[in-house]
Amino acid sequence: MQINLFKALLLLITFGQCHVANQPTISWTLVGCDDWTYPKKDPAKPNLELFTIQQIWDNANLMITNAMSQIDAIPIDESVLLKTFSKKSAGINAEFMFGTHWTTFMGATKGDAATFTKIKETYTDIQSALAKTLITTDTTQTPPTTILDLPNTQAFLFCEGDSFQYGKIKNTQFEFQNVWYAEVTSTATDGTAGRTEYLVPSAYASGGSVRPCTEPFIKDQDPNDPRQPYIGKTFDTVQKIIKTGENEGTAVEETFLGMILCPSQHPGFPTPNAILKQNFQPPKPPVSDFSTSVAGTLLHEMAHVVGRSKKINGRWADQASGFNQCVSLAKSKPDQALINPDSYRIFAEMNMSPATEWRARKSKDTAPTGPSGSAGPSGPGPKKPGGSSRRARRYVN
């Protein structure tokens, strides 16, 4: 499928661009998103509620804002007997995802305050990535030095895999090798000196005839195996620019950051929600994996962007995915939970609901009908964090 660069740039303008003087920021060009909705349009379901990428983007922002406000509301070293249910929930959710402490009578401990600050700083960075204002500064240098450990400050977001085509690209290293690529074209006002851009995500540059976002579910394999289907993925993108005007055939290669959202096809998993509305009611059973959302996935992938932007902290690879693994990580390695993208997704999604009595998924649990969300089965769960016995329904092995 050929994408007109003008449409892609219109979407870029829609999402805005805000640069801080003399400092690099990450911009996003959206490919295949202009007519895209989730769920996909279905003539047989005229009343199906559809969501655009703008609505999903906005909901991810709302989740972050809400998550930070919930962190601010967590009681620290003070009686919680008269505190609201949501404040207690936020404190317990933080213990689940980030390894902070929660006591039945006095809430979080004073030592957790610094951790809460770090969590909010990361959410602020994720929100900046969404707003295209993400800037990183190495404060260990004197004076502080701005760093951006990314291949380029421009990035591409692909909505599903429909914008990709399979084949060879003339005048490039892919001239004799079939790859999946998206083609973006532009034309000058006088009809000349335009250019064609071929975007070849590194994740799909090795060939293979399976279209991106349609990878089959591998039975009896770890749902978090990178070969399994995914709702979102972040990767490097090789951009081949082929001039079609005066210097036709000249190829320029640049490497950019890429991200793809793939919520429409999930063999083996329940389908995710598009968004989570404020104060939504979790499905029954109250399984966190059934309340996964595309907006939360976008938040997760933007956390990867934050990690890639920080030389000092590495690239923030997925160390745990899904409710159970994230709880285990927070308990055993709380410092690693602070740089684990899925911990931020789940905490944000959990705190969008006033009824966060969630637990891990059991093998006998049946996914609710309709868009309901799943990050995949998580397996046996860890023990409940200390101090949560009064809310035992939150988590059941």
Q: How confident is the model at residue 170, as a pLDDT? A: 80
Q: What angle do CA 79, 83, 87 make, to 5 degrees?
A: 110
Q: For residues 322-337, give the mean pLDDT.
A: 94
31 pLDDT more than 70: yes
For residue 178, is it within any domain?
no
Which of 254-258, 283-287, 324-328 shows the lowest per-residue confidence on average (mean pLDDT)?
283-287
For residue 379, is it within any domain?
yes
Q: How confident is the model at residue 348, as a pLDDT? A: 96
What's the structural domain count of the chain? Answer: 1
The pair of structure tokens assigned to 338 is 């602070």
Q: For residues 99-108, give the mean pLDDT.
A: 86
The whole-angstrom separation of Cα 333 and Cα 331 is 6
96 pLDDT more than 70: yes
For residue 87, is it within any domain?
yes
Could you tell me the residue range of the domain that residue 36 belongs to?
31-151+273-394
The pair of structure tokens assigned to 361 is 């998924």
For residue 70, is it within any domain?
yes
187 pLDDT more than 70: no
Q: For residues 64-77, give the mean pLDDT.
A: 93
For residue 218, is it within any domain?
no
Q: What confidence tier does 10 reach under pLDDT thresholds 50, 70, 90?
A: very low
Q: How confident is the model at residue 130, as a pLDDT? A: 95
Rg over alpha carbons for the chain, rounded to the nearest Å, is 22
The whole-angstrom separation of Cα 300 and Cα 8 is 23
Q: In terms of pLDDT, which residue wins out, 5 or 217? A: 217
328 pLDDT more than 90: yes
For residue 203, is it within any domain?
no
7 pLDDT more than 50: no
For residue 9, is it within any domain?
no
258 pLDDT more than 80: yes
143 pLDDT more than 70: yes
- pLDDT, mean over the chain: 78
Q: How confident is the model at residue 250, as a pLDDT? A: 65
For residue 195, is it within any domain?
no
